[in-house]
Chains A and B, each alone.
Chain A
Amino acid sequence: MRRIKELVIEKALLTSALITVAITAGIILVLSFEAFAFFREVSIVDFFTDTEWTPLFSNKHYGILPLLSGTLLTSFIAVAFAVPVGLSISIYISEYAPRSFRTSIKPALELLAAVPTVVYGFFALTVVTPFLQSFIPGLSGFNALSAGLVMGIMIIPFVSSLSEDALHAVPDSLREASFGMGSTKLQNAFRVMVPAASSGIVVSVILAISRAIGETMIVAIAAGQQPRLTLDPTVPVETITAYIVQVSLGDVQHGSLEYRTIFAAGITLFVFTFLLNTVSYRIRKKFQEKYE
């Protein structure tokens, strides 16, 4: 009897594992299938070299570059803001702050990640943009800068929390060794702790980048929806995610080429985040081995 129970439980667990794998496989299949149909009509060379993305206009161009540049630009701004801030926070919490502070501040910081992104989007559009306009003349109402900055605020906890975990996981014996050698707190933090936790910190940064690239609402609301191949953060741009939202909400016909652009854009995005996650997984595995 007990054996049957064990068997049932085992199979149930296996099924739930298989379901997630199957769903992932299904998503990839649908993405690839539709994207394949898209690339039968649009050459893949054009897709990666054309500098215009106007599938919804009469003069159609299918160059992903403007969307890609929009995505990378907003993500870059977000990461450039979140990494120094997040890392400073993590170093402060793990190496300077009293222990009681750590237990209260960490959940508070993680709340930042719990704010709905649509709220962040409107925060960027109605608070940050007007604020930035007060000292950046010519800043457009929709722009990559404020969307990127607010996205940066959103991903701070990704960086700070995971980095702090990595710093916290450094054995105390190393802290003792470095203080025993006469390190100051600053020397201990930057010469011993950060290098010892570097793989964990890198993983946190990669996950933050991955999150920024996949972020949708903030950029859809605050960055504008104009695909534009530019690195100028003050003008409206469109990201891959924002484009997907725009078209999904519109009335393009199911099965049309316009409809399939979503999947072409989607698979590009997928490849990006998949690569980043793979890299971070690899680093994390290496990191685990190091302290065993």
Chain B
Amino acid sequence: MSNDTSNGVGPIDRSPTHLSSTLALLAGVSTAVLSAYAQVALGATLAGLLVLGLGLGVGRQSPVTVGGGLLVAGVVAAGVSGAPVSATVLGMTTALLAFDLGTTALGLGEQLGREAPTSEVELLHAVASAAVGLGVVVPALAIREVATGGQPVSAVFGLLVVVLLSVVVLRRADPLSGRRA
């Protein structure tokens, strides 16, 4: 009597999804390449890449965040040690993309598992995030081309205050407040 029919397989594999993980690591590698203007910067980005890869390997958020932070720190260090502005700005974009895609991979893996077909959504997220980055990088570099040198300190000061204020406001803004469920 076949009374002991199997109940199915073991628990589902909830590790980070393949596509986003791969894209995140690619972005991390690009960051490392773009920051290769100073040893400190390269060291930081390589360490960041390693930690990020580790985090994706074990499926934990905190190493992914720390890895992203190290990538950003490497880009800043490269900028400070005299990397070209375009490399710094692009490096920042890829560093943030690496963090973003890594976190997406974790979230999707945790909620749907590796087996589930998720590539459509993953690609959409990746394209959207890259577009946002490029949407800032291109105008920023263009403005820089137009207005080089000799800005008055007071204007820089004023713009800095504006950015600070906007960060404070954005942090307080609740994206859900406009919504009535």
Tell whether A pairs with B.
no
Query: A residues touching B (Cβ–Cβ < 8 Å)?
Result: none
